[in-house]
Chain A
Amino acid sequence: LDIDVPLAEARYRDHEVSTESAEFTRHYETYRLAVYRYLRARCPSDEEAADLTAAAFERAWTARRSFRGTSDRYPAWLFAIARRQAIDAARRRHSERSRWRRWSDPAQVPDPADLALMAEQDARLTLHLGALPDLQREAILLRYAGGLTAGQIGSVIGKSEAATQKLISRALVTLKEAFDGDI
């Protein structure tokens, strides 16, 4: 232990990791609940959503130096990571599409136990969400579960802000028509 580290270098190293850590902690505190809600909307259980939330933030920390941009772009970057976690998890359990398909397929009767837990309108809304095209549903989840703006959602799903706004608008029109003014 007789190798000296220059004091300036040591201070720089400590400063760098402390600053990154403090900034990451701020992002974590800001987006923890939103990321969880988004993942919960895509997962079959609270536990899996929590585990994916933890994994998403771990990935965000390890990949932090690949983030380029101002802090207003951070949510889109973070939710893109969370979305990838959800997609990979669904691939592992092969159930996400079938879950939504089960809700949307008239031939499939939803589990009465699932429906009993929801208010009637929530149950109907969930059914209609299941019937939306995948990308429209994704935009709706990022918007209302994740709280992202159209521009941020566009960054996550690879569309322009205008195209994303159209996706959301179409989805809302479809849902309103499905409710036939009864909401």
Chain B
Amino acid sequence: MATSDPLEARLQALFERPLPAELGLRIDRHVEATLAGDATVEPGVHPAVERSRPPAGIGRRRTVVLLAGAALVLGGAGAIAGTLWHGGPPPANPALSRALQGFRERSMAECLSEQEARASIASTLRDLGVTEWSIRTDGGVSYPVGQHDAYLRHTDRGCYVYGGNGWDADGRPVYYIGGPGSVDGPGT
């Protein structure tokens, strides 16, 4: 909404407040939880549902919906016929979860370049037998509670921090690292 009127320009400037990064993340998480908790089947969650079907004996002809953190199997007329999981999909590999948590802490404590961060994750994944993954810098970021400013200083120095994991559209695991510019700082 560009304007040449000085008063209107001043009004726009008065209200052009940046959304602090930590508050933006808080809103994002709330909205994500709202979507996930209201019988939604999110694209990023589909692969988790599909992977969970065979071990649970749930065929592809059955509808699975996500509601309040549970994956529910629907029967006739929308009635709930069973629970696929509750409280999130079962971890595919507990050793991998521990390794990634360790890498998250290490990447905050040390300054890893993008190349070093990628190599470290790749090595961990190979050691644990994970195949067909990708590492990206355009996804989630994370940092310990109360360390938002420390995270910004760390990444502004060119250091990369493990941000979390998800799935791509084909159901392959994606691992995210965040570096410079991955989170807008206050006033930017």
Interface residues, chain A, with chain B CB atoms under 8 Å away: 1, 3-5, 7, 9-10, 13-14, 17-18, 20-22, 24-25, 28, 32-33, 36-38, 40-41, 46-47, 49-51, 53-55, 57-58, 61-62, 121-122, 125-126, 140-141, 143-145, 147, 172, 175-176, 179, 183
Which residues of B line the A interface, CB within 8 A?
1, 6-8, 10-17, 19-20, 23-24, 26-27, 30-31, 34-35, 38-43, 57-58, 61-63, 65, 73-76, 79, 81-82
Closest to A53 in B: B27
Decide: A54 near B7, CB < 8 A? Known: A14-B41, A141-B15.
no
Which of A58, A141, A176 has a CB less than 8 Å from the CB of B7?
Answer: A176
CA of A143 to CA of B61 in the docked complex: distance in angstroms? 50
CB distance from A20 to the nearest CB of B (A): 8
- Are B35 and A144 neighbours in the complex by a CB distance under 8 Å? no
A1-B81 in contact given A9-B63, A36-B27, A172-B8 (Cβ < 8 Å): yes
Residues A3 and B39 in contact in the complex (CB < 8 Å), given A17-B65, A50-B19, A61-B34: no
How long is the Cα–Cα vector from A1 to B15 in the complex, in angstroms?
55
New A-B pairs, 16, CB < 8 Å, besides A1-B82, A62-B38: A1-B73, A7-B61, A10-B63, A13-B63, A18-B40, A18-B41, A18-B43, A20-B40, A32-B19, A32-B27, A38-B15, A41-B15, A58-B31, A61-B35, A125-B10, A144-B14
CA distance A172 to B3 in the complex (A): 14
Complexed CA–CA distance, A176 and B43 (Å): 51
Residues of B within 8 A of A32 (CB): 19, 24, 27
Can you report 26 A-B residue pairs in the complex whose CB atoms are below 8 A from each other?
A1-B75, A1-B82, A3-B75, A4-B62, A4-B76, A7-B61, A9-B63, A13-B65, A13-B74, A17-B65, A18-B41, A18-B43, A32-B19, A37-B15, A37-B17, A46-B20, A50-B19, A50-B23, A50-B26, A51-B26, A54-B26, A57-B27, A58-B34, A147-B1, A175-B7, A183-B10
Q: A176 contacts which chain B residues (CB < 8 A)?
A: 7
Q: A49 to chain B: which residues have CB within 8 Å? A: 23
Given contacts A3-B76, A10-B63, contact A33 B34 (CB under 8 A): no
> Which chain B residue has the least Cβ–Cβ distance from A15?
B41
| A57 and B61 contact, CB distance less than 8 A | no
Whether the Cβ atoms of A1 and B58 lie closer than 8 Å is: yes
Are A58 and B30 also in contact (CB < 8 A) when A5-B76, A122-B14, A183-B10 are?
A: yes
